[in-house]
Chains A and B, each alone.
Chain A
Amino acid sequence: MTGMTNIVKTVTRIIGGVVFLFGLYIVTHGHLSPGGGFAGGTIIAGAFILLVLAYGDNIMHLRRIKEESSALENIAIFCILIMATVGFMLGAKVFFNNFLPTGVAGQLISAGFIPLFNILIGIEVAAALFTIFLAFVIFKEEEK
């Protein structure tokens, strides 16, 4: 897959890191401000998609990172399930028990396992959207 023009490449070089950091901010501050795992994960996936679209890549490398992002997605949702059952085993009779200390509302490290859950959901959403994008790109390349 070929990249785009020099203008797009330069703008991507400036913007890409900022978009990625903004996604990380949205994910990690999900329990304090609007946003969370779904919104932040979409922004992170957008940063990666921007890079691939602007610079292009050869198909073997694209296939490999597709496998990696697919595996990452499955690992993230497996970690979510493990976290849910850990809360189940630590005494309470509900799935997804908030087993960590809740702390003071408003601080960055508070709210028990909600930040962890947010981060895992962010990884899962970002990897899922990136995998879908890569599947379309690889399909188009193989069709030729």
Chain B
Amino acid sequence: MIAVIRISTREDLTEGATIKVEGVRYVNLRSAVYFVTGLLFVLGFMYYFIKSTLNLDPFGVHSARMAQVYIEQGAELTGSANLVAGVLFDFRAYDTLGEATILITAVVGILTVLRLKGRK
């Protein structure tokens, strides 16, 4: 991938798949490299996709491995009597940080829109 990016330029956009030199048609080496790399990427993606789908539960069978641990050991792991607070502020604290960031973004947006000084 990096090699493809390194050798490609803006002029390649207009290049065809074949080159004609002295009346003989040759396959453009660059487009061949693009094709092979794209094919490898798609095949690798498909391989790992299939491998990961084989690990899933069969269709229609419900399994709650994470939720079971949260419900059974949440109180002793976090020390919080409120399970919702234990999940929100300990197991999923990263999510809560994102929510706080949304509020910050909303405030910055409103302060930017409602600014009379820089409008003229």
Contact = CB atoms under 8 A, between A and B. Distances in A.
A131 B111 contact: yes
B18 interface: no
Given A70-B111, A111-B79, A111-B86, A77 B96 contact: no
Contact of A139 (B78, B84, B116): B116
27 contacts: A31-B85, A31-B86, A34-B84, A36-B85, A37-B89, A73-B104, A77-B100, A84-B93, A98-B78, A102-B77, A104-B79, A105-B75, A105-B79, A105-B81, A110-B79, A110-B80, A111-B79, A111-B85, A111-B90, A112-B90, A114-B85, A124-B103, A124-B104, A125-B100, A128-B104, A132-B106, A143-B116
Nearest to B74: A105
B15 interface: no
Q: How large is the interface on A (under 10, 10 to 19, 20 to 34, 35 or more residues)?
A: 35 or more
B80 A124 contact: no
B76 interface: yes
Interface string B65-80: 0000000000111111
B51 to A, nearest CB: 26
Given A73-B104, A73-B107, A136-B114, A121 B96 contact: yes
Q: How large is the interface on B (under 10, 10 to 19, 20 to 34, 35 or more residues)?
A: 20 to 34
Interface of A: 30-34, 36-38, 70, 73-74, 77, 80-81, 84, 95-96, 98, 102-106, 110-112, 114, 117-118, 121, 124-125, 128, 131-132, 135-136, 138-139, 142-143
A114 B104 contact: no
Contact of A124 (B86, B93, B100): B100
A111 B88 CA distance: 13
Contact of B80 (A80, A111, A128, A132): A111
